Amino acid sequence: MRNALADRLAGFGADEPGAVSGLFGGGRGDDDGAQSPLIVFDALGRLPDGHGVEIRDGVAISPASGTAEDHKKYDYEVLPAGTIFPVRVDLLAPEDCNEKDLVQALATSLDALSHGETAFGAKRSRGLGRVSATWTVRRFDLASPEGWVAWVESDHEAPNGE
């Protein structure tokens, strides 16, 4: 998501704009960077009905010769198309920040997922890890006790009520 936002704002390979570090914390390589205002919850995948995890095999290729290396066969697991991960991402917007800019940066980053511009995991060049997404937005007023209760009671495992 960080790369997708940087690419959209500045172009591929360009220096990362400040909006990226504002949303994701310190800049790349900045060990003393700020904490990100994002909270990303764990998501358990749900496989499509009638499908299971696929086991595929591969072989390591020698960079020098371009041929298969001896005794370097391996197996890897692939989730089937249509696997659903209900991901919840919370954006904490403190009063002293520019909330509009943070929300716009997050929306831009999420929009890249919605249009398949971002892939996750290994073997992306072989077409794996493609993502399409739909988003639901909820706002919690954490300045009130009622807002805190609503946030605590919201379901992070089914953020869209599924």
Task: Tell me, yes or no, whether 138 and 68 share the same domain.
Answer: no
CA distance 85 to 47: 9
Which residues touch 116 (CB under 8 Å, ≥6 apart)? 130, 131, 132
| Positive or negative: CA dihedral 94, 100, 105, 108 | positive
38 and 53 together in one domain = no
Question: pLDDT by residue (tens digit) across 131-160?
Answer: 777 788 888 888 899 999 999 998 877 776
Residue 89 and residue 120 in one domain: yes
Q: Are strands 68-78 and 89-91 parallel, antiparallel or unpaired?
A: unpaired
Structure confidence by residue, pLDDT tens digits, 46-92: 999 999 999 999 899 999 999 999 999 999 898 888 888 888 889 98
90/53 Cα distance (integer angstroms): 29
Indicate if 111 and 144 belong to the same structural domain: yes
Same domain, 108 and 127: yes
Q: Based on the fold, state whether residues 6 and 70 are members of the same structural domain.
A: no
Q: Do both 31 and 88 map to the same domain?
A: yes
Identify whether residues 42 and 70 lie together within a single domain.
Answer: no
Q: Is 12 domain-assigned?
A: yes
Top pLDDT among 83 and 31 is at 83
Q: Are residues 108 and 140 in the same domain?
A: yes
In a domain, 161, yes or no: no
- Residue pair 73/79 in contact (Cβ under 8 Å)? The answer is no
Q: Structural domain of residue 63, as residue ranges? A: 47-81
If asked whether residues 17 and 64 sit together in one domain, one would say no
In a domain, residue 73? The reply is yes
Report field, pTM of the whole predicted structure over 0.75: no
pLDDT digits (tens, 9 = 90+) for 105-123: 999 888 887 776 777 777 7
Residue 158 maps to a domain: no
Say how many domains are in the chain. 2
> Who's near 156: CB < 8 A, 6+ residues apart?
41, 88
CB atoms within 10 A of CB 70: 9
